[in-house]
Structures are given as structure tokens and as C-alpha cells.
Amino acid sequence: MASHRKWSPPGSRRTGIRTPVLATAALTSVALLSQTANAAPPAEPRPSLEEVEKKVDDLYHQAETATEKYNATREKTAKQRKRVDSLLDDVARRTEKLNTAREELGSFAAAQYRTGASAPGSASLLLADTPQDYFDQTQLMNRLTTRQKAAVDDYVTEQASTSKKREEASRSLRTLTTSQDALKTSKADVQGKLAAARDLLSKLTADEKARLAAIAKKKREEADREAARLAAERSAAEKKARDTAPPPGTSSGTTGTSGTTATDSSYTAKAGKAIAFARAQVGKPYVWGATGPGSYDCSGLTQAVWKAAGVTLPRTTYDQVNAGTTVPLSAIEPGDLVFFYGDISHVGLYVGDGMMIHAPKPGAYVREESIFYGGESIIHSVVRPA
């Protein structure tokens, strides 16, 4: 008997069964989707060397700005701490004086009690907490001598004054606490900027570091050329001034080259002392917040060098820029302070021929360098401090 089973073409689908070809394709698709889902996000493009250099320079500049803010806050905090200490000492002396006066007033009250001028218990009230309430009683006050009444008045006055001093000390303590918190914040800000700069530099390859050094060298060479140009211009101006000077014995006024006030001999002498001190600091490390003698930040150095010449400067660049006479760059003289950036966050001591001595930045050392190290555009002003 012939078979009646129906013929099925190859590759056809039976109920509940998927052909091997389709199953393999499905599994492959699932695997690819799974790999795509679990793949790490694409890495960010590596910054160019120029971008790294700019970012590092910006971070160092921000760190120096934060350093000057830290210096200002630390100076303010130190002054507040001295004031608090002084107030607390004053309150302690006043309290001791009040205790002595209180004992004397207690003896007055006790004497009055023994004579029957007051009710029992009044003396003990005086000797406890509220002597003024007790002495306000007319009966007792009428029996006190003139000297005793004066002692009572003095006590009441001193008590009120001491209370005010205590309140003032409490306010100063709260202000000091706020300043100390701000000091911690400023310190953390500086440290954060420096850590970010170090992190960027640590990721450079040896070749990138070499290229970065080459870029820095090229900038120094350009800065040195600018310094030489300034020196030549100053020399030419001085020669012209000498050639056109009136004969000896005639009045020539007090203007120097470029129409500015000429420096006098006393300034020249002081500037010489400041420069000599600065040269002795060359090679010492930059440490933010430092004022010497082993290390300096930029304003700590300029403060120290002029102190050696007998001139007291404020601590920060923000204050030093106002501690003297502003002169144009064309009239700059050795000893002048050169300030940089719009936020006045850096300063150096001009030593002549377009050069200065300064504490550059973290990781560097006090050195002599062109005032054009970052280009003329970042020079903010020139100040003659004495």
C-alpha cells in the first residue's frame, strides 16, 4: 500500500521547532546587542599639548590668585586673634577688679547690718549676686559714707563696662571663627588648583614633556628680546636727557626721562639694598603663603626685600600695588615693583635691563627673569614703593 504522508520541502518550519540557520542568526543578534549595551563609553579625545599648557598655566594663575586671597585672610585672622586675646585679657582684669570691689562693698553692708540699719539677710544678698539691688535701698545708702557711696558708684559703672567688654569679646570670637573657616576654605582652594595642575602634568609622556620644555624655552627667548628692547629704549632716553641737560648751576627742574619725576638719591640707595637682598634669595623655593627666610611666595618676597631696605610694605599684592607711586613702564627704575594680570595676583622686583627677580609659581625657585615672561599684555602696572 502506498504511503499517504504529505511531503515537506527542505528548510520548512515544523510546529515548535526553529531551523538551525534561523536560530544561529538570532543568537548572533542577541550577542551583538549584549556587547553593545555593555561596552564602555568612548574615551574623550586626548587634549593637545597647547591645551594642556594653557590649562596648567591657568591653574597656576588661579592658585596664585587663591594664594593672595589666603594671605589676606590669614593676615586678617591674625589681627582678629590678637584683638580677641587682648579683649579676653581685659575682661579678666576687670573681673578680678570687680571681685575685689565686691568684697569691699560686702564689708560695708555687713557693717550696716551689725548696726541694725538694714534687715537681716540684706548683707548676704549683697554678697551673693545683686549688690546694686541691695544698695539701691534708700535706708542703706543714707547710712553709707561719702567714700562708700563713691565706691558703690564705681562698682556699678565698672560692672556695666565689664559687661560691654564681655559682649565685645563674644562678638570678636564669632568673627574670628568665621575668619578661620574662610582661611580653611582658601587653603583648600589653593591646594585643589595645584593638585589639578600636577595631575595634568603627570599624564604627559616623556616626548610631550620635552616638547613642553621647548615651548617654554621659546617663550623665554622672546621675553629676553623684549627685555633687551626695553633696556635699549631706556638707555637711549637717558642719553638724550644727558645731551639736552642745561649747563651745571642752572635750574633743570625735577623731571627725568619720559617726563616723569626723577628718582632721588635716597630711593636709589634703598633700591640698591632691596636688589642686593633679592639676589641673595635667588634659588630659594616658591612656597605659597611663605614670607622667608627659607622660601617665599611672590608678595612675601617683595615685602621681605623692601623690608631689608627699611621700607615696610603690606602683605598682599592687592595692597602693595597701592603702597607707592604708579609710574609708566617707559619710566621704570631698578627697585620698582612690577604687578601682573588684571586681578593683580603676581609681583616682581625690577632690577634693570628689562629684568626682575620674583618667586614665579609652585614648583619653581626665586629667579631673575624678563618682566615680559608672559608677554607685555599681562603687565598691570609699575609702582615705586619709597
pLDDT in tens, 13-39: 444 444 454 455 555 555 555 555 565
What's the rounded mean pLDDT across residues 254-266?
56
Contacts of 173 (CB under 8 A, 6+ apart): 84
Q: Grid coordinates representing 115? A: 548696726
Higher pLDDT, 145 or 324: 324
For 312, which DSSP code?
Answer: -
Active site residues: 298, 346, 358
Residue 288 has pLDDT above 90, yes or no: yes
Q: What is the pLDDT of residue 319?
A: 97
Question: For the segment 51-79, what is each residue's pLDDT rounded down to a tens digit?
Answer: 888 998 999 999 999 999 999 999 989 98
d(CA 351, CA 230): 13
What's the rounded mean pLDDT across residues 236-254?
72
What's the rounded mean pLDDT across residues 130-135?
55
Strand, coil or helix: what is 339?
Answer: strand
Residue 227 has pLDDT above 70, yes or no: yes
Residue 283 has pLDDT above 90, yes or no: yes
How would you list the strands of the sheet with 346-352, edge to edge?
A: 325-327, 379-384, 337-340, 346-352, 355-358, 367-370
d(CA 351, CA 205): 37
d(CA 243, CA 260): 17
